[in-house]
Amino acid sequence: MDRVRTGDVDLCVEWLGDRADPPILLIAGHGAQLQWWDDGWCGALLDEGFSVIRFDNRDVGDSTSFASSGEPDIGAILGGGPTELPYTLWSMAEDASGLLGALGLAHAHIVGASMGGMIAQCLALVHPGQVRSLCSVMSTTGAPGVGAMTGATVGELLELDRAYDDPVEREVATARRFASPGFAFEEAAVRARAARHQARGEPAGGVVRQLAAMLASGDRTAALGRLEVPTLVVHGDADAMVPLDGGLATAAAIPGSALLVVAGMAHELPRAVWPTIVGAIVALARRADADRRDEQGGR
């Protein structure tokens, strides 16, 4: 792993595979570190002839912490009142943009999951030339009430948070409770990922600041309607964290986007669906690259 400076942030990054191969930048979700993208998932993309870049977003893992900023007032944000925030999703999109530049890449295929999908959307809106293709996974548009957890789901998450002192056991229990009903729960893999997460640690208050960034970054629906980037939207029909209407709204907002709804999948990427989702991402990327070559050849 390397640390790459972009703007006022250092990002912990890992670039896998042959750097001469077309790059895919993976953007992780809320509170998730780079290893959320499983080695096997990355290996499947490598086997298809791509290189893979995964990194810790700001305020998570070994990237720059904003702990000195304290925790924002989530209640004030939800109430629409003024509040000081150290960053938004748009700031995090600039991190991704700067990372590509620091790695010497003019553009890449972008895959973002959950909050990472929101960041990927922002990146495509602000720097479309850096995005060869866009895949927004189990994410949403930022429109109020769209892709939003129910009060019951929030209550269950809070209850699970209070029930476990051991953070690894808390992560495993939460993952089990909200696992995909259509697929086997992969406890060994979840436990290993949780242990790696806790071993690396996380900045104090980082998950709250990232939550605030999501809540305060606005509705992207109208802007997404002007996007001209080849796009795939992936969502599970059993997702309680970001319900399916978030993915449907994203696909409806982006002209010409493809939609893949995975039956029985919740807010995770079960190993059994990797071939389907990786296949769809690869097909999109190859079409986008072929179209780019055709356009350049026609000039």
Angle separating helix axes 39-47 and 274-297, nearest 10 degrees: 40
Cα-Cα-Cα-Cα dihedral of 257, 41, 275, 182, to 10°? -90
Per-chain mean pLDDT for the chain: 95
Q: In the prediction, which pLDDT does 202 show?
A: 84
Three-state secondary structure string covering 143-158: CCCCCCCCHHHHHHHH
pLDDT top residue among 76 and 95: 95
Domain-wise residue ranges, the chain: 2-150+203-297
237 burial type by CB count under 10 A (0-12 exposed, 13-18 middle, 19+ buried): middle
% pLDDT > 70, the chain: 99
Helix (H, G, I), strand (E, B) or coil at 23: strand
pLDDT above 90: residue 284: yes
What pLDDT does 294 receive? 81
Contacts of 19 (CB under 8 A, 6+ apart): 51
Q: Are strands 108-113 and 231-236 parallel, antiparallel or unpaired?
A: unpaired
pLDDT at 183 over 90: yes
- The span from the CA of 195 to the CA of 55, in Å, is 18
pLDDT tier at 258 (50, 70, 90 boundaries)?
very high
pLDDT for the residue numbered 298: 55
**Which single residue is written with the structure tokens 């190859």?**
286
Separation CA 162–CA 155 (nearest Å): 11
* pLDDT in the model for residue 207: 92
**236: confidence class by pLDDT, cuts 50, 70, 90:** very high
Mean pLDDT of 197-211: 91
* 148 touches 249 (CB < 8 A): no
Annotate 270-291 with DSSP letters as a single string: -GGGHHHHHHHHHHHHHHHHHH
DSSP 104: T
243 vs 150: CA distance, rounded Å: 9
Q: What end-to-end distance do the CA atoms of the chain give, in Å?
A: 39
Cα angle 136, 146, 170; round to 5: 75
CA distances from 200 to 12, 57, 118, 203, 244 (A): 12, 14, 25, 10, 32
Centroid of chain to Cα 247 = 13
Residue 269 has pLDDT above 70, yes or no: yes
**pLDDT tops 90 at residue 79:** no
Q: Is CATH 3.40.190.10 the right assignment for the domain spanning 2-150+203-297?
A: no
Contact 241, 269 (CB under 8 A): no
Nearest in space to 113 (alpha carbons), one of 212, 37, 189, 42: 37
| pLDDT at site 299 | 53
Cα angle 96-253-257, degrees, rounded to a multiple of 5: 75
Burial of 76 (0-12, 13-18, 19+ CB in 10 A): middle
From 52-61, 82-91, 99-108, 283-292, the region with the lowest mean pLDDT: 82-91
130-159 pLDDT, tens digit per residue, is 999 999 999 999 999 999 999 999 999 999
Share of the chain above pLDDT 90, in %: 90
